[in-house]
Structure 1
């Protein structure tokens, strides 16, 4: 059988008499994860289970992500576990955008374990399902004030009291972002509510 990978993919796509099982075995032997992914798209017959097991074994996360977008059969749960194991926060975020069967709760839990504030933030904007309370807790734990501030400007749901408290506790690194919040049309009125609430509580204690 031809060992030229491009020709092999082409033959599988065009020749109905092609030996698909042997062709896949050869791609696996050649350790070409991207070609296995492409074969899963173009070949008329394809052993998805064998191919998926190969992708997981190689740990080629780009190929896993793409296969999740295009393959007719795909183990989304096992794929997410591999992306998590490899700490691929960016690819988990993209999986949440593109995969047909995404467990958003497990996806967010994975991002929280990895501790990547940037992609927790982006997921809160773009994913179809998102636990904003857990997401904010993740941003606070990551101690990155820029993303706490930005989440308050762009997320559909946001706990401004918890977010402001986190910015205050990040005394030095949060100083710039507290200033930004004080002039932002979404943050500013919420901060005023927080201050008003604190003022009323203080007056009550004094009386």
Structure 2
């Protein structure tokens, strides 16, 4: 079906502005339906293929979300907090036969996990994520202390202590990147043409 649909895996990149919904780090799969190449350009096929593209996009979005959730849950020791519930996808039909499907998180903690923080985050190996994000990393602090609700020394191996009033504190140089969105996006985007082919087989006429 490559003669009908062109596929582009867009660079995975952060949306820079922060909003009340948090920071969105988005991977977008772009599909373009070339109406002129539809079976003799017959108008009756245009709507069928358009709907098939939308179905494929929805399936890709659903699968990306499932994979991202699985990636997150398999790598978190102490719950997933709000991150799992922050994973979203959206698919949208645009002008010119274009359809996009995007995977993202609307949590402001997602960027810290995906990219890493501090000195440790800057030094962590991010492979494709590092390439896609460029040099983005949270390195504004060399070391910092923060309050916790338990002994992070036992949980994460961090330097931790408890004050006289019972409050726990931990010290950190940051955390390495632990991407969960990008691997899901990449895995599904590599199979985009298969998703389309599956849906196009049902187009008759």
TMscore range, shorter length? under 0.3
After TM superposition, the score normalised by the length of structure 1 is: 0.23
Identify the structure with the greater strand proportion.
2
After TM superposition, the score normalised by the length of structure 2 is: 0.23
RCO higher in 1 or 2 (8 Å CA, sep ≥ 6)? Answer: 2
Structure with max Cα Rg: 1
Identify the structure with the greater helix proportion.
1
